[in-house]
Structure 1
């Protein structure tokens, strides 16, 4: 019985760890995509600025 409870506790810990890493990965992906989009839009405005100067 105690062994079962121990296993249950371990499975909860590992599943919560999985959830945390999943959330972290999602956040990383989203922020990376956002950063990429921001860099791209900044590049476009930079190109526009250079184009207007020329």
Structure 2
């Protein structure tokens, strides 16, 4: 189920931001094999981008 949440997190982002996050968390590109740990890692990277 984590892939559905990942998709919803990435959907509203601009392509540049999305590709930056995909570079920092590579498993996110292959959404079919995403797990909860990938979701947590993606969320923490998104928080870092917001803080910067």
Higher relative contact order (CA 8 A, sep 6+): 2
Task: Report TM bin, short chain.
Answer: 0.3 to 0.5
- Structure holding more helix per residue: 1
- TM-score, with length taken from structure 1: 0.33
| Greater Cα radius of gyration, structure 1 or 2 | 1
